[in-house]
Structure 1
């Protein structure tokens, strides 16, 4: 019968317990000196050696021929404990035996001294799962047990233990094991088992183990079942574990920096089609952004970043695309997303939305998003070429220069009655319409846009204030959704166009109905002329007085809707 590698290669003495030097040395010294405590608490994350250390210590204190604080694993006592037939070592899983009755059994058993050996050792795993009543029943026994009893409590969550329990135990914290130590141990196991595997693949498996030796050995066991006739290389490990190469993260980060969201989403779609695990993909992407941040802030990356020469060079190039604040924003948002994915059945949708927010900071209304947008604008301004010594004055829609301090006067444009009514309706209801659109990016883009008449006798133009908003609203699906919403709510068929207009020129335009032209004796453009920008210079010079009278007329006929 096949035995899993993590069980077959469980540490048999303190020397084989990797990455916990301080803990193992303290326990060995107690065995050497014979100063054995009555209660120990082993804390640490999964797979760091808590249970293995407890079993080694149980054998060591009962060993007939201890070797420098280690059990010999050859005497009768060691062999019985190893085989699980010893009456001196009892293991209890508190996750399934957490009641008062289970603790009472222990209290009854401790009254009897060991038949052979010196100590009766009780190993209680996941001790934080005991109920409050069980903890209370355990207190007195834990504080004053018989001299031949040793309690070893193991837990991944020491914060859940009552302080009365903590104060009665010697506490030892098991640290996460470094990737280098795990990789070295994996190499030893692979060599002994005859598993051909490259050093690069072992290094990646060790990193995916995330500080847990047991997890890493299990992953090696999984990879060993994949190939028998040749060496397991880095690409094989990526395919087996559902991970991707860091070059993919470089492509993704560059697409986000260039705001090429279609490329970013296509990359994600390819990974899903290849069967990659999304949670692992996000964890690896977060690790790549972490490497970018280190490359941005630390001069010497030796020992901090584990990449091939080619990928390391790409990393140095990618770091120039972002500021430190932007990378910190990426890390915060990706960390939050990883937590959200644990409880969401729609992982792909959440990831796609987050990629859009990362690419377009203006869709992210959080303080981090605002800071990212400022950094992006600063970077774009710095990339603009110099304009020369002579500064060109801004021009109006007719091409005339506007002198410093001169305020551009609004112009008046006439519209057919139906188009004018559509415009007034949309101006009044645009905020409500935008909030009913599906999808946060489209909703935010619409809210940050404005509406004005299209050239001709019908139709409207949605003027966006940024290229990112234009890219979102100009999609055919978005236009269709807006037109369908208007038709459903107001029973009007209005066709929309989209343009990117950040100069605010249309905001100073006053629109009137053609039927009111006979009541206004001032120069007025048609919507076609307004689109061409064909104002006469004489009319422009007289505009200040005329438009004051036009405003008075409009206030009496249309309220403030013309604003």
Structure 2
């Protein structure tokens, strides 16, 4: 009994409708055939095994079909049967392998025979495979024939490198670029073939076959043919596919990923040793590990990635990947993937791939030793996961008593990291307020440089480390109530962390409310859906409530913090507002204008210190605060209010002393 043909020969398409993944080519070709608008020369290009030669044969069958013009060959006439799967072939359809017949002598021989009329068919069709192997002299010898062929002659060039076809030939053809077949479509096609063959294939084995085929239908069917030939009574299993194709088993990848998540160096290096002992290629293992990290990154960003088809895995494996992704942070996964990708690049041509693999694993395990941005982000991911799990600080490992000092150092390092992140966020947000400070100073008639000096004193006490910090107030019943979260996952620390976003939201709604929040208030406590804001004095609190700014803050907090919140304003002595320092009066200059101390928003310390060292700008003309308000301002209450009254009502300011306007 003769052995059956290979899968890629048994299932070679016979019509354009059976060609998968190339609808952008088969559609226009079928339309041209049906309308009898066929060109005399075609160029099919694309990766290997994607259907170029098969489509050329189908095109030749359709051209010589007795029912032509027709989009698909009928399959019943003599020409169609001769060119069908397993057919004897047609004398009028000549296939030439340009890899062995690409010289100028072969081109001259083709040119001499091309002028003879076809024997049985309508057209004599030349299919020149691997056309990029034709020499320049051979193409030049064919140029005149391809440019002006006889009526009965058609050319079809197939190549994987269209750029090597000389432009004079390429410009006289209709070029159709073929593409790689999508993995989902190729997987469905394999499933249909396995069902028609009556062979059982594990769902987890099909993605490995598709991955080995790399988008080529012929290569994928060849791999599948090999697995079907070696399958036992149970069919094609995952272990069989992974062993024959050389891929790392999922169990070993799960072991390594779990060890990375637990920071268990012993388990990681034991897995590396298992890779070497089982004879696997360290480079292939590193590539599979990088692919697994890529899947985890996608699942971390899109939790339903397996259901939407972003990753092609079985259902049980998707559950394992989802569970593993929860144990990592996005920055930690990104850092691990970058390190593995860099290690994979370094392994190319290396003489000691195991050594490089172990070094890569060591760097992934030690984010604390990485002082760059990626290492800091990875450590912050760990802190956030501990906070989300209700563990504020890392617990000391089980060890002798002398490890208490080590645990204390770890706790102190984590506290410093959290403080550093808060400081970085404060400085970054403060840089956006510099322009607002200068604009507000000019509107009030106050010199921008003097306002900057006032702001430096306030910022230095909060940001610069060599300035004595403010004393911590004693805990009060209100602050002790803040330990109870008002919403699931929101406590006073969470609200304070997101409060800059609330302030930014308020800025877009009402600017006067934004000034109150950024200058005169701070979050005191959070409990039962109530956010309590503390103000330094009764005037600031009453001005805040009189302008109904609490409603604006409530709307902004509901958008940022997701939920229904209530806002309460109280007078809290622990809310410190540093007044801007004044100056000694100098000789009066006419006309006189009132001068008041103005509270400015925080700004970036280094930027403001630089402004202090800069030469003073020319003073702007004085502005009368009593006449500065405009009836067009929505916060303006009426023409009878003076500038001092407006400051007292809206900002809660208190006039300390009034001087005539001074000139330096």
Pair 329,85 (structure 1): closer, same or farther in 2 beyond 3 Å: same
CA contact (8 A) 2:246 2:280 kept: yes
Asked if 1:297 is matched to 2:297, the reply is: no
The superposition leaves residues 160-197 of structure 1 with CA deviations (integer Å, 9 ceiling, x where unpaired) of 44433332222222222122222222222222323222
Deviates most, 81-90 or 173-182: 81-90
* Matches of 2:341 and 2:118, distance apart in 1: 51
The residue number in structure 2 matching 1:175 is: 179
Aligned to 1:8, which of 3, 7, 10?
10
Map 1:86-235 → 2, pairs under 5 A: 86-235=90-239
CA shift in 2, pair 1:342/1:99, >3 Å: farther
Q: Which residue of 2 aligns with 1:385?
A: 393
Distance 1:133 1:330 in 2: 53
Distance (Å, rounded) in 1 between the aligned partners of 2:170 and 2:341: 32
The CA deviation at 1:281 is 3.9
1:248 to 227, 252, 262: 252
Question: How far apart, CA to CA, are the structure 1 residues paired with 2:335 and 2:23?
Answer: 37
Structure with the greater alpha carbon radius of gyration? 2
Residue in 2 aligned with 1:78? 80
* Residue number in structure 1 paired with 2:241: 237
Q: Aligned-pair distance for 1:129?
A: 2.7
Contact 1:5/1:221 (<8 A) preserved? yes
Alpha-carbon deviation of 1:362? 9.1
What is the root-mean-square deviation in Å for CA atoms of aligned residues?
A: 3.5
In the TM superposition, 1:23-34 aligns within 5 A as 23-34=25-36
Q: 2:95–2:129: 8 Å Cα contact kept in structure 1?
A: yes
Deviation per residue, 1:445-470 (Å, 9 max, x gap): xxxxxxxxxxxxxxxxxxxxxxxxxx
* Residue of structure 2 equivalent to 1:418: none
User: Paired residue for 1:311?
Assistant: 317
Unaligned runs of 5+ in 1: 393-403, 407-563
Deviation (angstroms), 1:5: 1.3
Do the aligned residues in 2 keep the contact of 1:246 with 1:288 (CA within 8 Å)?
A: no
Is contact 2:41-2:173 (8 Å) kept?
yes
Q: Of the candidates 27, 51, 54, which is equivalent to residue 56 of structure 2?
A: 54
| Corresponding residue SS for 1:56 | helix
Mapped to 1, the partners of 2:255 and 2:210 lie a distance apart of: 25
Name the CA distance, whole Å, in 2 between partners of 1:328 and 1:105. Answer: 60
Q: Which whole-Å CA distance do the structure 2 matches of 1:150 and 1:343 have between them? A: 47
Task: Name the CA shift for 1:142/1:272 in 2 (closer, same or farther; >3 Å).
Answer: farther
After TM superposition, the structure 1 = structure 2 runs for residues 319-468 of structure 1, keeping only pairs within 5 Å, are: 319-320=325-326, 324=330, 327-328=333-334, 331=337, 347-359=353-365, 370-379=372-381, 385=393
C-alpha distance in structure 1 between counterparts of 2:110 and 2:7, whole Å = 32
CA contact (8 A) 1:113 1:120 kept: yes
Shift of 1:67: 9.4
Aligned residue for 2:20, secondary structure, equals coil
| 170 and 233 in structure 1: CA distance in 2 versus 1, 3 angstrom threshold | same
SS at match of 2:158: strand
- Counterparts of 1:182 and 1:96 in 2: how far apart (Å)? 32
Which deviations, in whole Å up to 9, do the C-alpha atoms of 1:314-338 show, x marking residues without a partner?
A: 3234335555566556556655666
Instruction: Verify the 8 A CA contact 1:242 1:275 in the aligned structure 2.
Output: no
Q: Distance in 2 between matches of 1:352 and 1:84?
A: 58
- 1:309, 1:200 → 2: CA distance? 9
Deviation at 1:310, TM superposition (A): 4.0
Question: Which secondary structure state, in structure 2, belongs to the residue aligned with residue 225 of structure 1?
Answer: helix
CA contact (8 A) 2:63 2:69 kept: no
Aligned to 1:482: none
Name 1:440's counterpart in structure 2: none
Find the counterpart in structure 2 of residue 398 from structure 1. Answer: none
Gapped regions of structure 2 (runs ≥ 5): 387-391, 395-410, 417-464, 468-664
2-structure distance, mates of 1:65, 1:24 = 19
Indicate conservation of the 8 Å contact 2:204/2:238, yes or no: yes
Aligned to 2:38: 36
Q: Quick one: structure 1 residues 329 and 378, their matched pair in 2 at CA, closer, same or farther if it must change by over 3 Å?
A: closer
**Deviation sequence 1:68-91 (CA, Å, 0-9, x none):** 522233322223334354222222
Matches of 2:153 and 2:342 in 1, distance apart?
46
**Conserved 8 A contact 1:142-1:168:** yes
C-alpha separation in 2, matches of 1:38 and 1:251: 60
Name the SS of the counterpart of 1:79 in structure 2: helix
Cα separation, partners in 2 of 1:268 and 1:141, compared to 1, 3 Å: farther
User: Could you tell me which residue of structure 2 aligns to residue 270 of structure 1?
Assistant: 274
Change (3 A) 1:151 1:329: farther
Shift, 1:43, TM fit? 2.0
1:160 and 1:330 mapped to 2: Cα distance?
41
On the 8 A contact 1:40/1:170 being kept in 2, the answer is: yes
**SS state of the match for residue 95, structure 2?**
strand
**Cα 1:381–1:299, aligned 2, differ >3 Å: closer, same or farther?**
closer
Q: Does 1:287 align with 2:295?
A: no
Number of residue equivalences: 389
Tell me if the contact between 2:331 and 2:378 (Cα under 8 Å) persists in the aligned partners.
no
Distance 1:299 1:311, change over 3 A: closer
Q: Take 1:135 and 1:10, find their aligned partners in 2: how far apart are those partners? A: 30
Q: Give the TM-score normalised by structure 1.
A: 0.60
Deviations 1:110-162 (A, max 9, x none): 22221221222222222223333333333333322223222222222334444
Is the 2:203–2:314 Cα contact (8 Å) retained in structure 1? no
TM-score, with structure 2 as normaliser: 0.52
How do 1:404-553 residues align onto structure 2 when only pairs under 5 Å count?
Answer: none
Call closer, same or farther: CA 1:289–1:84 in 2, change over 3 Å.
farther
CA drift at 1:16: 1.7
Q: 1:24: how far off?
A: 1.4
Classify 1:373/1:56 alpha carbon distance in 2 versus 1 (closer, same or farther; 3 Å): same
Match of 2:434 in 1: none
